[in-house]
């Protein structure tokens, strides 16, 4: 899958899966717009990619957990005179702990970032792709999307939203030549767990590069969604068919905070 002459916008691009997408897309010939809060990290990554691949790399510092931030990003992209061919909605975070003790502001920010900003950016860039008859949107969901997740209730619900939203858009956009994919990683070696805590990791961690490879394979095959990693895929299938009370109880045991953990 070559990306020569195309421009990709990647959110959460300062590290982890977002940075891995940026490196792989630049290697395949894409120009980039990087969006994240970490301006210094994005500047370093942009310099790396310009030097290695000679691509145009623009950075747009933004906190997408703030209401209206997605519209500001889209306006900045328009001011740069850039058309987006590939949108990767990767930015997101999770909180680990029981909902009753969670901070109200952090709950709102989590929904804003994981759902609202993703929808807003898709709303701004999908119409242009449809009009041009080409393009792709990758929404980073999670294996958390396939079952309720006690002790990470809001996070699991946001990723279930992303999966459902993306699969519906897949059907709407496909006749116009636009691909939409929900990629569903399990535990991955990223800074995500610096926020959520290592207690939130279930199973063996995969690498960001593996997630990117799975994404490109699924895009090439025109899939609406794809789980990264065989073990994760098997678990996702099992949770869809097993009795719900059993699934919820097992998920609760796997994600239960250890003694002394905080939200």
Catalytic positions:
155
- Residue 173 CA, chain-centre distance (Å), reads 19
Name the strand (E) or helix (H) holding 252: helix 244-255
Tell me the C-alpha distance between 236 and 203, whole Å.
13
- Residue 137 CA, chain-centre distance (Å), reads 10
The three-class DSSP label of residue 137 is: strand
Tell me the C-alpha distance between 185 and 143, whole Å.
6
Look at residues 122, 157, 116, 110 and name the one whose alpha carbon lies nearest to residue 251.
157
Tell me the C-alpha distance between 62 and 81, whole Å.
19
């Amino acid at each position: 899958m070559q990306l020569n002459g195309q421009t990709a916008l990647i959110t959460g691009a300062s590290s982890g899966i977002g940075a891995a997408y940026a490196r792989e897309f630049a290697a395949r010939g894409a120009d980039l717009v990087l969006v994240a809060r970490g301006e210094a990290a994005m500047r370093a990554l942009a310099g790396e990619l310009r030097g290695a691949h000679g691509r145009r790399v623009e950075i747009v510092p933004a906190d997408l957990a703030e209401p209206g931030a997605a519209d500001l990003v889209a306006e900045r992209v328009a001011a740069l005179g850039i058309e987006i061919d590939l949108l990767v909605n990767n930015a997101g975070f999770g909180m680990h702990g029981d909902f009753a003790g969670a901070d109200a502001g952090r709950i709102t920010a989590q929904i804003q970032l994981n759902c609202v900003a993703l929808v807003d950016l898709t709303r701004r860039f999908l119409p242009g792709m449809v009009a041009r008859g080409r393009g792709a949107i990758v929404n980073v969901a999670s294996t958390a999307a396939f079952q309720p997740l006690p002790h990470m209730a809001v996070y699991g619900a946001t990723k279930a939203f992303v999966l459902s939203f993306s699969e519906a858009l897949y059907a709407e956009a496909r006749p116009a030549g636009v691909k939409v994919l929900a990629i569903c990683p399990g535990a991955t070696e990223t800074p995500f767990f610096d926020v959520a805590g290592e207690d939130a990791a279930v199973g063996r961690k995969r690498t960001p590069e593996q997630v990117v490879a799975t994404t490109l394979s699924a895009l090439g095959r025109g899939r609406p969604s794809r789980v990264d990693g065989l073990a994760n895929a098997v678990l996702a299938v099992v949770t869809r068919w097993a009795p719900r009370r059993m699934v919820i109880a097992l998920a609760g045991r796997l994600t239960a905070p250890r003694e002394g953990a905080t939200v």
